Chain A
């Protein structure tokens, strides 16, 4: 607990310093809040509009959860398929890479045209931006299995499936959690972006509406909420990891 606090202290100090400087600048230079509201104003207005912000946070969380779940299911299925079939590996891995060159900015509006304002286009956007780290992390994790470990299992008479179950799968889990963390942060920003392009509710569309009415303070309040959600989900992955991969070597401790 104390160690966690000590680890969190430096970034928090930096953030606090930044906020103080920001507050001082806005006050001293008398900047109009439409251009740059002070941090205090952001908090004040964010709190005043908390019901509306919360009402828009819930749909974003839902979209993120559904999109990321789809991405995980897809990622696991593809990664396992690739691990069992050299042909699929040759066929799919280049396509995974190619999928990352699609300009989401251009694709997202098209998805809205094709699939409407419902859940589907957002899920597609989130899946598109998150399945790559998840899938590649798994594919590489499986493939990183020690040759001698494979030989040991083979010498015991293990089938390909048993090799996967007893060695490849557990061996890939630490790497999977690393890519899961990358994926989950992409998922939240992906959801916001998809909503920004078109939605009936959600933090993305909330930001878009508030920007159009020059409520910069509320845009920033929503940004803060987004950041908090991302950090919370990020921290959650550590919790899950500790349950699923209790053997993972602890990271190097500083201080």
Chain B
């Protein structure tokens, strides 16, 4: 890893009668953690679909390490808004799905995913069914399925959106830890400003639909982030700045 400089260059997308993306442009550096926040329904998931090659943009390009990858799925590992663990597969076989699709034998795929179960807090649940997992474990399993694909950039769409606040805080601290260890390049969608500040090197604020970038705010807090930082003045200042940008971006 470490590679994976992502450039979004003037992305536009309209559904019939509904312009959604209005020239979205920003960069993500290799190993950087960038969060996207924006009003509900502004087009965050649509932006991910376009970046991930699932939807074709009307205009604009997606570049990875300088190469035009618009419409290609292979540089990205995508974690959709819901965990989408399949009940007919064990937890282990859910996490290997992407590898199997990529043509790896089931055995090799399992060998690749298994060592990640302990750092992801899932040790002992390899053979369990997803229905037996708690909400937080399900999200970690879905994230494991995403990162094990070893793609250049991770696209995480509100991974903790459905969790209760206590579990969510646990997950954030945990993610901060593993991210630092593996050095992923991450683009994360969230509704939660605190989560964005806590996890990110930079936060991109999107305008209401049709959306574009209102503001980019660098988070200059030291790493690794700790829960104590949340109450620091610097943390609060960044939160304040983001809130102002979100309010300012609202249509008059």
Contact = CB atoms under 8 A, between A and B. Distances in A.
A166 B97 CA distance: 8
B87 A156 contact: no
A158 B77 CA distance: 13
Contacts of B158: none
Contacts of A149: 84, 86
Interface in B36-92: 49, 52-54, 73-74, 76-78, 80-82, 84, 86-88
Interface string B131-144: 10000000000000
Contacts of B101: 153, 156-158, 162, 166
Contacts of A249: 131
B73 A156 contact: yes
A157 B97 CA distance: 11
A151 interface: yes
Interface residues of B, number: 24
Contacts of A245: 88
B97 A155 contact: no
What interface size band does chain A fall in?
A: 20 to 34
A236 to B, nearest CB: 22
A148 B82 contact: yes
A153 B82 CA distance: 14
A148 B97 CA distance: 15
Given A162-B101, A247-B129, A247-B131, A155 B84 contact: no
A162 B131 CA distance: 24
B117 to A, nearest CB: 20
Contacts, number: 52
A247 B87 contact: yes
Contact of B102 (A152, A154, A156): A156
A146 interface: yes
B78 A155 contact: yes
A125 to B, nearest CB: 35
Contact of B78 (A152, A171, A173): A152
Contact of B77 (A151, A153, A155, A247): A155
Contacts of A151: 49, 54, 78, 80
B35 interface: no
A167 interface: yes
A173 B88 CA distance: 10
B84 A148 contact: yes
Contacts of B84: 146, 148-149, 152
B81 to A, nearest CB: 7
Which 7 residue pairs across A and B have the least CB separation, nearest first?
Answer: A155-B78, A247-B87, A156-B98, A170-B88, A156-B101, A158-B101, A148-B80
